[in-house]
Chain A
């Protein structure tokens, strides 16, 4: 039987998605920057973790599994993104309100009910990825849904949690595990769908749909900022969690392979609840036993979290638009599809809206925001990041004002941007462009005058006359170009 002939309904196929997305704010329980660093660490510390009983007095099966290993962990840190909170040397500070607001936006866009009172929890994790031995997490909302072309899929829960430290070295022979603390504490939204997904293709569809909602809010972009897990089972097999998808398109292949594995397990009566890792080839490998509820206990250092009606209403009134809606809106501004896609993918919508207030030429603004910076990047071999740092909203505003005041012309703007990228100040760049415009105007007038005075000369003769007068002020090339417009051959 080929994979594509599987009848998912008959198999009792059930799947749910768990999506983890980093938010674009400072860390969740301290004021450290949320950014990953790849330079040499500034300091290292060494810690050990040990198994502890959970709330019920039992040691969670997943916790026991990790504790059996008894390892020492090395943590790398940097002063800008690691403080005493990440080092487990200071209690957490109050939850990052911005991160909470973004989570509420997402929860409302997912049609969820928000809990008015909730408690920040500690989820025991002792693989070393959290210096404290637990991950702080708080349930924010439940009972939402998304509509997909395969039908409605429920959203069970939306939680806000802190990201874990990232592993940079795992040398099993030397019993050495090294984590980097830059990622620990970055706000992470966790969205868990109900097990309503009926076939592998729908998994991808739901992932993309939720991804669209997330990108409408202030979330981080790029590799590693979103992580998807799938919970999957066929009739007669316990739930299996598969972690670590980077790309939605791999979900379909992996889910199909997992069905085959589970069917084989049922035949061999090997039925364990477990967490598995998604491999790049679509197969999966064992990671750890499935953790239970025994690993959750309250974060006693923080008060209950109240989410007021006012806060929710304020967010409801200003919900961001989805990409699909934004695209429609941009079409209304007269932008073509290519430009719209660029604006959306570069996340420049806010800037575009701001700049349209100054000058209504949306195509020009789109070019300033996304097209020309890209061209400059390729031509001058400067990173887009660096270019964007120089071409700030203020800079672009100043340029548009200069255009409105007729100090410069539309076709000057690309040059002005280039000058600014090459470290000229905005006013300098505009002035230069204006000066050269004035010079060229003078040149053009002079050419017209000379031709009128001495008609019929050949181009070289005119060239000589003009150059004698404008020596040093304009280039020969410019003169030839302009003469070309008035003199033939």
Chain B
């Protein structure tokens, strides 16, 4: 009798007879088609080549253990009236994922309540009065419509008098973009909007989610009405920083303290049991949040490199793009002079024809200054908008937002909006301690 092993539901306990001996094991989903992955009694997983399998006997069908994980089981919400109410918005990312034991891969939490089960400490600081899941995505799969949706959900709860603050869990890679977007779209912000993350999934005992979530809760109930990113301050599980959402950048592929403030100081140093204010912030207030959540996707971010042909500008123009942020050299230069790839003529042309061209610096730290060299002055004269100390990513999000919200649209109006400090994206005083911290 030959049973097609591919048809056996993962999780089924079987007796396998193979050319390499017999195994009493549980079938798992395999990442490789020709390999059957099984779990032995000892807990170890091994692979068996499909062609080596001679026979199998089902011993026990897969057990449904979902109830134990909280799915389908309505948990009684324990509301502590003495604690502030916080809404948790889960959007995906490592923090919303756990290992799927069937596949061995990492999958979204089927129920974000699971997160709270793991991190009970959070509930000593606030009630999680509602968990919203507008979408579950890895952050690299997000786009302007997701910023739009996220802002809408956030605004709804910010204008709910029973809600004291918001925590948004998010993937790390493009978290800073969403944070910047929320800063522009939530006008007259009244309560804390805290984005947090993890670099180690929450099924790991060492997950950074634990400290990040507890500190996020601490900030969400504070009187800081800003869009902030809360995460590990250093490699220790000791404290987090509350960082300004549009002056923050992911600076490491894997460290838990990956997010660093750029051209900015943290707003606060946050411990599980206390919060120390570091810099000025907008205070909690009774404003009604005005939702301005339109974003244009006809904007691009271009990184200049030596020798680059400026025809890239015309390419975007031909595709209907309305704005480009160019990551320029240190103070704000691109190729000019005798070279056949002189950018000046093309810049003049596309700007004259209506394109918005902004400049941000590749160095990230420091402020652009087109006045130091004559090249800069020539570039400035083309109509490029030099965005001071703004991060390139924030500049892209802002340009996307400005182009969708300024009406009637004109190059002057856009320039004025781009250079107005709307949500703390500019810092007019750069100080010593704001570099490499």
- The residue that A116 contacts in the complex, of B32, B49, B99, B238, with Cβ under 8 A, is B49
Is B43 in contact with chain A by the CB < 8 A criterion? yes
- The residue that B254 contacts in the complex, of A90, A131, A293, with Cβ under 8 A, is A90
Is B47 a contact partner of A133 (Cβ separation < 8 A)?
no
Given contacts A57-B68, A113-B20, A295-B43, contact A304 B31 (CB under 8 A): yes
Is A132 in contact with chain B by the CB < 8 A criterion? yes
Is A51 in contact with chain B by the CB < 8 A criterion? yes
Given contacts A45-B235, A48-B237, contact A134 B205 (CB under 8 A): yes
The interface bits of chain B over 17-29 (1 if a CB of A lies within 8 angstroms of the residue's CB, else 0) are 0001100000000
Min distance, Cβ A224 to any Cβ of chain B, angstroms: 25
Is A293 a contact partner of B45 (Cβ separation < 8 A)?
no
- CB contacts under 8 Å to B, within A110-150, are 113, 115-119, 121, 123-124, 126, 131-134, 137-139, 142-143
Is B101 in contact with chain A by the CB < 8 A criterion? yes
Is A189 in contact with chain B by the CB < 8 A criterion? no
Given contacts A131-B206, A134-B205, contact A50 B118 (CB under 8 A): yes
List, in ascending order, chain A residues with CB within 8 A of B211's CB: 48
User: Can you give 15 contacting A-B residue pairs, CB < 8 Å?
Assistant: A45-B235, A48-B237, A50-B205, A55-B39, A88-B206, A89-B255, A113-B20, A121-B43, A121-B45, A132-B205, A133-B205, A293-B42, A297-B99, A300-B106, A304-B32
User: How far is A117 from B33 in the complex, measured between Cα atoms in Å?
Assistant: 13
List, in ascending order, chain B residues with CB within 8 A of A303's CB: 31
- The residue that B205 contacts in the complex, of A51, A113, A304, with Cβ under 8 A, is A51
Is B407 in contact with chain A by the CB < 8 A criterion? no
- The residue that B46 contacts in the complex, of A89, A139, A295, with Cβ under 8 A, is A139
List, in ascending order, chain B residues with CB within 8 A of A121's CB: 43-45
List, in ascending order, chain B residues with CB within 8 A of A117's CB: 35, 46-49
Q: Tell me the total A-B contact number using a CB cutoff of 8 A.
A: 130
Given contacts A52-B118, A118-B46, A119-B37, 10 further A-B contacts (CB under 8 A): A45-B235, A52-B205, A67-B205, A84-B255, A87-B235, A118-B44, A131-B206, A132-B204, A294-B43, A300-B105
Output the nearest chain B residue to A142 by Cβ-Cβ distance.
B21
Given contacts A113-B20, A143-B21, contact A298 B204 (CB under 8 A): no
Between A51, A53, A91, the greatest number of chain B beta carbons within 10 A of the residue's beta carbon is seen for A53
Min distance, Cβ A384 to any Cβ of chain B, angstroms: 39
Is A49 a contact partner of B206 (Cβ separation < 8 A)?
yes
- The residue that B210 contacts in the complex, of A50, A84, A134, with Cβ under 8 A, is A50
Is A113 a contact partner of B43 (Cβ separation < 8 A)?
no
Given contacts A119-B47, A157-B42, contact A89 B254 (CB under 8 A): yes
Interface residue tally on A, bucketed by range = 35 or more
Is B69 in contact with chain A by the CB < 8 A criterion? yes
Output the nearest chain A residue to B204 by Cβ-Cβ distance.
A133
List, in ascending order, chain A residues with CB within 8 A of B32's CB: 304
Is A471 in contact with chain B by the CB < 8 A criterion? no
Is B237 a contact partner of A47 (Cβ separation < 8 A)?
yes
Main secondary structure of the interface of B (DSSP, over half): loop
List, in ascending order, chain A residues with CB within 8 A of B46's CB: 115, 117-119, 139
Is B74 in contact with chain A by the CB < 8 A criterion? no
The interface bits of chain B over 193-221 (1 if a CB of A lies within 8 angstroms of the residue's CB, else 0) are 00000001011111100110000000000
Contact residues of B with A, CB < 8 Å?
A: 20-21, 31-32, 35, 37, 39-49, 65, 68-69, 99, 101, 104-106, 118, 200, 202-207, 210-211, 235-238, 253-256
Output the nearest chain A residue to B252 by Cβ-Cβ distance.
A89
Is A49 a contact partner of B47 (Cβ separation < 8 A)?
no
Is A304 a contact partner of B99 (Cβ separation < 8 A)?
no
List, in ascending order, chain A residues with CB within 8 A of B31's CB: 303-304
User: How far is A396 from B262 in the complex, measured between Cα atoms in Å?
Assistant: 59
List, in ascending order, chain A residues with CB within 8 A of B47's CB: 115-119, 304
Is A132 a contact partner of B44 (Cβ separation < 8 A)?
no
Output the nearest chain B residue to A43 by Cβ-Cβ distance.
B235
Min distance, Cβ B112 to any Cβ of chain A, angstroms: 16
Output the nearest chain B residue to A119 by Cβ-Cβ distance.
B45
The interface bits of chain A over 288-317 (1 if a CB of B lies within 8 angstroms of the residue's CB, else 0) are 000011111110100110000000000000
Is A416 in contact with chain B by the CB < 8 A criterion? no
Is A159 a contact partner of B44 (Cβ separation < 8 A)?
yes
Min distance, Cβ A191 to any Cβ of chain B, angstroms: 14
Is A324 in contact with chain B by the CB < 8 A criterion? no
Output the nearest chain B residue to A115 by Cβ-Cβ distance.
B46
List, in ascending order, chain B residues with CB within 8 A of A50's CB: 118, 205, 207, 210
List, in ascending order, chain A residues with CB within 8 A of B200's CB: 88, 132
User: How far is A27 from B17 in the complex, measured between Cα atoms in Å?
Assistant: 36
Min distance, Cβ A9 to any Cβ of chain B, angstroms: 27
Is A46 in contact with chain B by the CB < 8 A criterion? yes
List, in ascending order, chain A residues with CB within 8 A of B44's CB: 118-119, 121, 137-139, 157, 159, 296
- CB contacts under 8 Å to B, within A35-51, are 45-51
Is A56 in contact with chain B by the CB < 8 A criterion? yes
User: How far is A89 from B48 in the complex, measured between Cα atoms in Å?
Assistant: 33
List, in ascending order, chain B residues with CB within 8 A of A115's CB: 20, 46-47
Min distance, Cβ B62 to any Cβ of chain A, angstroms: 11
Output the nearest chain B residue to A47 by Cβ-Cβ distance.
B237
User: How far is A42 from B245 in the complex, measured between Cα atoms in Å?
Assistant: 34
User: How far is A132 from B206 in the complex, measured between Cα atoms in Å?
Assistant: 5
6 closest residue pairs by CB, A with B: A133-B205, A117-B47, A296-B43, A293-B43, A119-B45, A139-B44
Min distance, Cβ A432 to any Cβ of chain B, angstroms: 55
User: How far is A48 from B104 in the complex, measured between Cα atoms in Å?
Assistant: 25
- CB contacts under 8 Å to B, within A265-280, are none
User: How far is A50 from B118 in the complex, measured between Cα atoms in Å?
Assistant: 9
Min distance, Cβ B15 to any Cβ of chain A, angstroms: 16
Between A50, A72, A137, A157, the greatest number of chain B beta carbons within 10 A of the residue's beta carbon is seen for A50
Is B48 a contact partner of A126 (Cβ separation < 8 A)?
no
